[in-house]
Chains A and B, each alone.
Chain A
Amino acid sequence: MARPAPDSAPLDPALDAMAGDARVLPLAPARRGAAARRFLVRNPTLGAGALCLLLMAAGAVGAGLLGTRDPQAMRPVTRLRTPSAEHWFGTDHYGRDVYSRTLYGGRISLVVGSAVAVISLTLGTGIGLVSGYFRRLDAVVMRIMDGVMAIPGILLALALMALVRASLQSVIVALVIPEIPRTVRLVRASVLSLRELVMVEGARAVGAGTPRILLRYILPALVAPLIVQGTYIGASAMLVEAYLSFLGVGTPPHIPSWGNIMAEGRAYVQLAFWIILFPGLFLAVTVLAINMIGDGLRDLLKVR
């Protein structure tokens, strides 16, 4: 390394501002490592959150490599065992290994979280852009959004799940719908102010079409707040998925997710607390990590 890592030593403010964005430093690899470290020291929340999330994702993706067994294999002989060297997180009422189920369950929960975040951001942004730009459409769309927003999210997701056969896709849809209005409002509010900018007026004057103005001039200004919004949506989606499963209308039991592992364990809570403890801990840590990333990004990107 070129020089000792400056842990918290105050540097030149101009350098500080540059180090805030690691990409602007055209440095040799060794110095880039130092820059990355400095970046993490300056944004501890973001760094810790990203590290935790990365660990969780690695556990979920590499579940097959981490000493797990078949998460669905039932062995009635070893039912409700306390955590031990053989079963790190104990076993459930069918003798299934809770450690394996928790790691595999992470896949579903992480997929649900990211899918809901991406889909609701995409749909919300699309609707928000169009509705913010066309006044007449705006009135109708916003009334509908107000209507959806007046219904508490979990209740709406519950009711939606009552209408369809429980599957992973239906859970994702039921979680996306309550999230859309908030994104729409965020995007619309920004569009309303951005469309009055001289830049947009200029673009129109040189003959840029509406789609071009929306996508090339207005959308880029929205990227930062949308990323932050996306992390919060993903975090809350993972929690609500667990709630739905817990109440018996979420992810079907043949797909282990953190939510339905806990749902199955609730009948045995006094006998085998570990069935609920470990998936819940994983879920809490993951959601915490995502929220920390969100907070970190918000401070870094100076959103609001």
Chain B
Amino acid sequence: MGVVALFVFALLRLTPGDPAAIIAGDYATPQDIARIRAALGLDRPLLVQIGIWLGQLLRGDLGTSIFSGLPVTTLIKQRLEPTVALTILAMLLAVITAVPLGVLAAWRQGSWVDRVVMGLAVSGFSMPVFWLGFLLVYLFSVWLGLLPVQGYTPLSAGFVPFLRHLALPALTLSLVFMALIARMTRASMMGVLGEDYIRTAFAKGLAPWSVLTRHALKSASLPIVTIIGVGFALLIGGAVVTESVFALPGIGRLSVDAILRRDYPVIQGVILVVSGVYVLLNLVVDLLYVLLDPRIRY
């Protein structure tokens, strides 16, 4: 995490371009620029700036937005709910559909079921997320009139409207993830299904369903869990785009707005928080290994 923090800082400060000049705009006088620079602390030596920033970080302070004047932590907290809801929903949707499909494809390897599932999976992560989003909006909202086109209602306003607004974004976002998980599940299951103990299980007459889930899926789950952790990066990237398509007031929109306004503290803050969650999630995945595979110990 320390490396990420330093890297983000270096990225934003060492690249050419003076943030103060960009913030002041095209018509600012040199005095204006100098004033803004002083207000942001950009006139101090680089090492001092790094020190101050890291010190603030350790106290959980991500700085103040240049544009709105609000603390970055407050901004992030305000925007957290839609993004968290969207990613969790998309993740659930993807896991619930993709794992069974992947298992089925591996079991009926080479059959038409396998080909259809894998064909869909390759198409799934070849499609631009926002394009897919627009297609779904067109189909479900404009054409069939079933779901709202855009916008967000918080959970506190009732579960059904909340879900109705999130259904399309979550579906849009989950398709890429679904494709990834389905492919991984199939590959992992195919490795396991060749094992002798699976043949034994089938031979002693256990129901295929039981063999697949109880015996095979359990050993095949390690790579699947890993890809769910790694795929979070993909999910967040997709969330940025999806939130823009569906006008959801989430972290993704916050970061895009911040980038368009060159609001550096917000950009830094969002990247740090998201990367932190990503690292933490992968740590959880590592710990899950112990539960899934008794041979692994830490």
Query: Interface residues, chain A, CB within 8 Å of chain B?
Result: 143-144, 146-148, 150-156, 158-164, 235, 239-240, 242-243, 246-249, 262, 266, 269-270, 273, 276-277, 280, 283-284, 287-288, 291-292, 295
Which of chain A's residues has its CB closest to B122's CB?
A291
| Chain A contacts for B245, CB-based, 8 A | 266
**Inter-chain contact total with CB atoms closer than 8 Å:** 136
| Chain B contacts for A159, CB-based, 8 A | 8, 11-12, 255, 259, 267, 271
Which of chain B's residues has its CB closest to A143's CB?
B3
Residue contacts A-B, CB under 8 angstroms, 25 given: A144-B3, A147-B7, A148-B7, A151-B271, A151-B275, A152-B233, A152-B234, A152-B237, A152-B274, A155-B240, A155-B255, A155-B270, A155-B271, A158-B240, A243-B128, A246-B128, A249-B260, A262-B128, A269-B134, A273-B134, A277-B135, A283-B128, A284-B123, A284-B126, A288-B127
Residue B4 at the chain A interface, CB threshold 8 Å: yes
Contacts A150-B275, A155-B255, A163-B15 given; does A276 touch B244 at CB 8 Å: no
Residue B220 at the chain A interface, CB threshold 8 Å: no
Report the minimum CB–CB distance from A101 to chain B (whole Å).
Answer: 16
Which of chain B's residues has its CB closest to A284's CB?
B127
User: Interface residues of B: mostly helix, strand, loop or mixed?
Assistant: helix
Report the minimum CB–CB distance from A154 to chain B (whole Å).
Answer: 3
Q: Are A154 and B274 in contact (CB under 8 A)?
A: no
| Chain B contacts for A242, CB-based, 8 A | 128, 130-131
Which of chain A's residues has its CB closest to B129's CB?
A243
Contacts A160-B11, A163-B12, A249-B260 given; does A151 touch B125 at CB 8 Å: no
Contacts A243-B130, A284-B127, A284-B128 given; does A146 touch B3 at CB 8 Å: yes
Which of chain B's residues has its CB closest to A294's CB?
B122
A129–B12 CA distance with the chains assembled, in angstroms: 29
Contacts A150-B278, A243-B237 given; does A156 touch B271 at CB 8 Å: yes
A158–B262 CA distance with the chains assembled, in angstroms: 11
| Chain A contacts for B278, CB-based, 8 A | 150-152
Residue B211 at the chain A interface, CB threshold 8 Å: no
A242–B134 CA distance with the chains assembled, in angstroms: 14
Residue B138 at the chain A interface, CB threshold 8 Å: yes
Segment 229-250 of B: residues with Cβ below 8 Å from A: 232-234, 236-238, 240-241, 244-245
A172–B244 CA distance with the chains assembled, in angstroms: 23
Residue B198 at the chain A interface, CB threshold 8 Å: no
| Chain B contacts for A161, CB-based, 8 A | 259
A163–B122 CA distance with the chains assembled, in angstroms: 34
A247–B8 CA distance with the chains assembled, in angstroms: 21
Residue B60 at the chain A interface, CB threshold 8 Å: no
Which of chain B's residues has its CB closest to A285's CB?
B126
Segment 95-120 of B: residues with Cβ below 8 Å from A: none
Which of chain A's residues has its CB closest to B17's CB?
A163
A164–B12 CA distance with the chains assembled, in angstroms: 10
A154–B129 CA distance with the chains assembled, in angstroms: 12
